[in-house]
């Protein structure tokens, strides 16, 4: 029984966009009609409404793997069948720049971290995105002329532990960007049986002259989030309208 999301199954759509920032939930909810706030408990704002005739929930998952994992678990318990995280990330690969869009195809993480270690002790979890949902997101982006990069990201448990040396090492491993929740989302998707995907907007970079000097907020990235959020809603409407 959900403890942190005080909602019923009727309150939660099968199609969910999840964000760390409740301000981003407010922003994306503006794209829906007939909206209803179905949870504010613990500061985890959850809003459900309609995009054309497709029911969608926009949910706050908080910061970090443990917080996000409990939200993903409870959304799944309440009937969510697919969850797309729309968040921010720090650019690691040298060709990433602020404002870039990254579609995460997989997420690396510290062994035992991101809450996954307590689900699968001694085992590295399956942290690849759902391929069909991710492919559909990329196809809609291409139809709408939205440029994006794709590849693996790193899900960190310690925001302030990152350094230029960390970025160099991660780039050597083929990592595009660093964030905090994708690994938990992907692992739980496979464990609990819901489709999981993650789209990120680069809000800062960990390389070059701009490293650790600028961090853009949801408000500063508002136009990008509206653009990407609408495209994700189009994915739900195009492929999962009757689901």
What pLDDT, on the 0 to 100 scale, is given for residue 164?
73
What pLDDT, on the 0 to 100 scale, is given for residue 25?
97
Q: How far is CA 199 from CA 33, 34, 137, 159, 165, in A?
A: 23, 25, 9, 19, 25
What pLDDT, on the 0 to 100 scale, is given for residue 38?
96
The residue ranges of DSSP E strands in 62-163, in sequence order, are 82-91, 101-109, 149-155
Contacting residues for 144 by C-beta, under 8 A, at least 6 apart: 231, 234
d(C-alpha 124, C-alpha 112), whole Å: 8
What pLDDT, on the 0 to 100 scale, is given for residue 35?
97
Q: Which two tokens stand for residue 97?
A: 């720049």
d(C-alpha 70, C-alpha 194), whole Å: 14
Neighbours of 168 (CB within 10 A): 13
pTM of the model: 0.96
Report mean pLDDT in 10-residue bins for the chain, 243 residues.
90 97 96 97 96 97 95 97 97 95 97 90 93 98 98 94 84 96 97 98 88 84 97 97 78
């Amino acid at each position: 029984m959900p403890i942190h999301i005080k909602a019923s199954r009727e309150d939660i759509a099968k199609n969910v966009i999840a964000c760390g920032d409740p301000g981003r939930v407010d922003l994306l909810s503006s794209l829906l009609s007939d909206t209803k706030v179905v949870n504010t408990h613990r500061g985890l704002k959850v809003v459900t409404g309609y995009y054309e005739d497709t029911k969608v929930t926009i949910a706050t998952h908080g910061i970090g793997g443990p917080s996000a994992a409990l939200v993903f678990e409870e959304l799944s318990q309440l009937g969510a069948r697919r969850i797309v995280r729309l968040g921010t990330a720090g650019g690691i690969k040298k060709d990433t720049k602020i404002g870039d869009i990254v579609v995460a195809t997989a997420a690396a993480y510290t062994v035992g971290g991101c809450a996954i270690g307590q689900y699968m002790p001694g085992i590295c979890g399956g942290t690849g995105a759902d391929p069909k949902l991710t492919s559909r997101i990329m196809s809609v982006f291409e139809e709408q002329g939205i440029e994006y990069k794709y590849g693996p990201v790193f899900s960190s448990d310690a925001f302030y532990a990152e350094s230029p040396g960390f970025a160099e090492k991660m780039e050597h491993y083929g990592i595009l960007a660093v964030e905090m929740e994708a690994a938990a989302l992907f692992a739980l998707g496979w464990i609990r049986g819901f489709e999981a995907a993650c789209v990120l907007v680069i809000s800062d970079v960990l390389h070059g002259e701009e490293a650790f000097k600028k961090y853009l907020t949801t408000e500063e990235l508002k136009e990008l989030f509206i653009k990407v959020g609408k495209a994700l809603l189009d994915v739900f409407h195009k492929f999962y309208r009757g689901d």
